[in-house]
């Protein structure tokens, strides 16, 4: 049984004529007849009653027609679906992101993208950098947004943003108005760490080890959520280090104060991570193009340049250049 045989049968059954079926399929009438004969031979049945020069379905042919109707209706649905996907009227993008990008950057881009392409479904899951890398390697997400970890042969990291890190305290903390604070002056103040696995935590830990003469901090707690850490500091407990964008509003409102700590100058680079050799859907390509035009990302031009190179490589591989 071949699909061309089923097409021939279906057209004859629908038109009631071998000649009309041949015209619709751009075949000769003998070619259609041969397709039907081959199909009947394969099934060992008669599909049509050809008596009195009329073409009527046999009982077995009527059964087969119910299936070919379902089959070719499904084909039509597939063609329509992929026409819509090609026109970005339907589709899906799966994103994995760390908390900062997933909270303060991606929602704005997702909002703009959804207005332009309302039929594209976007799934965003958030975790730490290690989780985002794992999701990509397992094929659970199309694009990853995280810090760069160890180079992996299957992942291509493209830097999209550099964000300063600030050490902050509550507005009425005794350190709030001091200038040129020495690291030892923090000893009596509890420190709020981000959870293990975050690269912000690793950077801050390395800084303390470099500039503190003793094991520091003496007192600390660990919170899993950036918003919880901010809220805890605002309420007067301890200090923490956070990306500037996460506390910009609270500093503007006077709820938090930036600590002017000597030698404290840290930043964090964020990347979009893609699997090497991955063929992107048109929806994912459109999302990346919009991301490259997002001015809030300090390294958007770097992404734009890399996308241009990726497109060039694709054309070269396909022999289009």
Quick one: pLDDT band at residue 215, thresholds 50, 70, 90? low
Identify the pLDDT of residue 178. Answer: 87
The CATH class that applies to domain 3-86 reads: mainly alpha
User: Exposure of 285 by Cβ count < 10 A (0-12 exposed, 13-18 middle, 19+ buried)?
Assistant: middle
Domain range annotation of the chain: 3-86, 91-161+270-318, 163-268
Examine the pLDDT at 48 and tell me if it is beyond 60. yes
| Per-chain mean pLDDT for the chain | 86
Mean pLDDT, rounded, for 221-225: 87
CATH entry 3.40.190.10 includes domain 91-161+270-318: yes
186, 166 Cβ separation under 8 angstroms: no
Answer whether 91-161+270-318 and 163-268 agree in fold.
yes
Measured between alpha carbons, how far is 246 from 38 in angstroms, rounded to an integer? 70
- Give yes or no for a contact between 216 and 182, defined as CB atoms under 8 angstroms apart: no
314 pLDDT exceeds 60? Answer: no
Average pLDDT over residues 55-80: 84
CATH architecture label of 163-268: 3-Layer(aba) Sandwich (3.40)
Cα-trace Rg, the chain: 31
pLDDT over 80 at 234, yes or no: yes
| Residue range 124-153, pLDDT digits in tens | 999 888 889 989 888 889 999 998 777 788
Structure tokens at 280: 């992107």
Does 59 have pLDDT greater than 80? yes
Going by pLDDT thresholds of 50, 70 and 90, the confidence category of residue 52 is: low
pLDDT of residue 73: 78
Question: What string of DSSP letters covers 184-202?
Answer: GGGTTS-EEEEPTT-HHHH
């Amino acid at each position: 049984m071949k699909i061309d045989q089923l097409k021939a049968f279906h057209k004859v059954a629908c038109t009631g004529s071998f000649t009309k079926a041949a015209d619709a399929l751009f075949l000769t009438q003998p070619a259609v007849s041969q397709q039907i004969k081959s199909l009947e031979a394969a099934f060992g049945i008669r599909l049509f009653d050809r008596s009195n020069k009329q073409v009527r379905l046999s009982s077995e042919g009527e059964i087969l027609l119910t299936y070919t109707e379902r089959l070719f209706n499904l084909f039509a649905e597939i063609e329509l679906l992929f026409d819509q996907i090609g026109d970005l009227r339907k589709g899906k993008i799966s994103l994995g992101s760390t908390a900062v990008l997933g909270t303060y950057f991606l929602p704005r881009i997702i909002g703009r993208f959804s207005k332009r392409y309302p039929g594209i479904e976007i799934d965003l899951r958030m975790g730490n950098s290690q989780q985002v890398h794992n999701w990509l390697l397992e094929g659970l997400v199309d694009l990853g947004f995280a810090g760069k970890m160890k180079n992996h042969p299957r992942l291509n990291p493209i830097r999209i943003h550099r964000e300063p890190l600030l050490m902050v305290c509550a507005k009425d903390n005794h350190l709030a108005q001091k200038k040129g604070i020495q690291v030892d002056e923090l000893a009596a103040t509890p420190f709020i760490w981000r959870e293990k696995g975050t690269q912000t935590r690793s950077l801050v830990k390395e800084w303390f080890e470099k500039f503190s003469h003793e094991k520091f901090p003496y007192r600390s707690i660990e919170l899993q959520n950036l918003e919880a850490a901010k809220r805890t500091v605002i309420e007067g407990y301890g200090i923490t280090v956070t990306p500037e964008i996460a506390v910009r509003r609270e500093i503007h409102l006077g709820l938090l104060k930036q600590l002017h700590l000597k030698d404290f100058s840290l930043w964090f680079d964020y990347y979009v991570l893609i699997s090497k050799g991955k063929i992107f859907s048109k929806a994912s390509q459109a999302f990346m193009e919009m991301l490259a035009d997002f001015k809030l990302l300090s390294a958007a031009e770097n992404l734009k340049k890399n996308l241009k190179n990726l497109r060039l490589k694709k054309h070269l591989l396909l022999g289009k250049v």
